Amino acid sequence: STATTPAEAENWIAHIEKLFEVLGVDDVFKVRLATYKLEDDAHRWWKALKNARGGDNYAATLAWDDFRALFYQQYFTDADRSEYLREYASIRQGDDEPIMEFKARFSRLVNFLGPAAGTPQQQTENFKWAVCDRDRKFILNLRFTDITEVVDAVKNLDNEKKQREKKSDGDRKRSRENDQDNSNNQGGNEQSQDREDRSDRYYNNKSRSGRNRYQNRRPA
């Protein structure tokens, strides 16, 4: 019926789109069903807009994305839109921000701005350049048709990094195990050599003792 803040307008749109998804609503019916849910001030706004632009024929051919942009223009002040434009122009992915969270934050701004966010291709380019420095250098020269492809490319980079880290951890673990085995073997060899040395000394001492007794014995 009304929205006092941009967040309330966004929440209503998100609620309606969730209903569309659950019910499997085709694009041609989305505007008709959404405007059916408008009441009071919102209904009066839509009725005036529709009549000024061609009545039911205009509503029947209006795409959902276009309706959403008109809806946001109604409930976002000029100051709100200016703030969103500044944020959109400087948006960057945080170094520790997961790519899916960044995509949600980026898409939220795109929904707020509507046509001011640029064409889908421009949005894709802006999203690619907004990816954090760590990943952007690997995808900068690649061409993408939509934001989803950029997200997939970044996810692949993350998966490869995890695989390399896992392999590196495995190599370090095997290296430590080999060092431990070598240390154990060296210790065993030293113990064996020590036993041999003690045995040699024992028999040498016995041999010298026997010779001494024989040399000290007087002839009969």
Q: Report d(CA 155, CA 139) in Å as an integer.
A: 11
Beta carbons of 134 and 95 less than 8 angstroms apart: yes
In terms of DSSP H, where are the helices of 76-146?
78-90, 99-113, 120-130, 133-139
Q: Is this structure's pTM higher than 0.85?
A: no
pLDDT for 10-64, tens place per residue? 889 889 999 999 999 998 899 999 999 999 999 999 999 999 988 988 888 899 9
Exposure letters 62-79 (e unless 16+ CB within 10 A, then b): bebeebbbbbbbebbeee
pLDDT greater than 50 at residue 121: yes
